[in-house]
Structures are given as C-alpha cells and as structure tokens.
Structure 1
C-alpha cells in the first residue's frame, strides 16, 4: 500500500511537466545544425524566411519553399530538384525550444511510401541570427 502512494505521488509530479514550445520565434532566421555522413561530423547552415529555406552545406546551396501547417510544423519542397528523391516533400516538426537560442526538430517524408518503413530523423538547430 505504501508503494502505491509513492507511485501516485510520482505520477502526479511528473504529469505536470510541459515542454516549452515557442515555435513562432523560429519561423525566420539563420540557423546552424550538426549532422553525420559516413561517420564524419559536419555542420550545416540554413536561412529561413516566411516562404523560403536556403541550405548551405558542403559548398552547395539548395533552396526549398516553406509552407507552414501551424506554428510548429511546416513542409519543405525543393525548388529545383535534380533527382526523384529530391522531388519528395519533407515534413518538419519543431518538438521543443530552448529560449530563443535553439530548437529540437524531427523530419520525415511528408507522404509515406507504401511497403517502406517510415524513417524519422531528429536534430537540433541553433540560432545564429534573428
């Protein structure tokens, strides 16, 4: 019985936790993030406006349109895709924010392909400029 009270107290205290999500603070700006390719850690940078997302990585520039679903979710679509894979839209979701300095996100294909597992990736973007 004593364990039951401890369990109830624990659940009561942990259920009140709410994740900070001030997504509108991150709709525009210049950001940086780290990613790994073939075991090598690299840094990418992107600039997001209300309607465009410009990626700078490995000496390449890539531009996508941004279509906001709500304050925390948007769809990216490449402006000039060169392969069929690049033609697919990406669904981005801001999961948590840290003040106005960084946010944690996840991304996946906007449309799930039949007979393929859904691959969801996560990362953290850090604000460089507002």
Structure 2
C-alpha cells in the first residue's frame, strides 16, 4: 500500500507524525465491517487476530474486495503490533509503503502479510503476531 496523499515531504523519508499516521492506518474500515458482520469485535488485541483467523473466508471469491481486505488485514496486524509490542512503531518507506519497525531494527511488511492471509489464510495473523512479539 502506497500512501500518495502524504505527498512530497521536505523531511527525510520515514519521518511523520507518529500518532497521526498510526490513527490513520488503524482505521481498516472494510476489515472491521466484515468482522463485525461475523460477530467479531476488533479491539486491537492479539485475541482479535485469533478471531480473524477463525472467520470463514467468504471474500476469497470476490476479486474486487480481496486486495482491499488484504490491505486492511495487514494494517490491522500492524496496528495490533504497534499498540502491544514494546518499541514497535510505524514507518513509512521512501516508496510510501507502511511497515512496522521494532527496536531491534527488524522491519515487517505487514501489508504483504495481510494480503497473503486474505488470499490463502496462511500464515495466520495470530502466528505472525506471535513471531513479531517474540522478536
């Protein structure tokens, strides 16, 4: 996911208002709507990732919704990581791709992971979270 409306910044790549971008990236309206219709409440916790992993993937047959839902799933995964893993922060690459960076410097392309999850269900979002939380 590129974020073109952030426009050209005179600041160095990756610098932004962390709270503002975190709020923007956490919206995930399509995923939240799909989850709510299935009775799953997304409360930005690891438990909600487990609940998402249990959803029946009715979206897989819809080529229009699939990429958007995958994008939202990745952003939601990133939101949970940033809010619950000490030292995890959002970073926007020079190409506009949002990633999660840990204190260790390790970087996670959560959007790519979310898109893989939406298409195939694997790896599970909760597994990805566990891997990051243990890093």
Q: Which has the larger radius of gyration?
A: 1
Pick the structure with more strand per residue. Answer: 1
* TM beyond 0.5: no
- Normalization by structure 2: what TM-score? 0.24
More helix by proportion, 1 or 2?
2
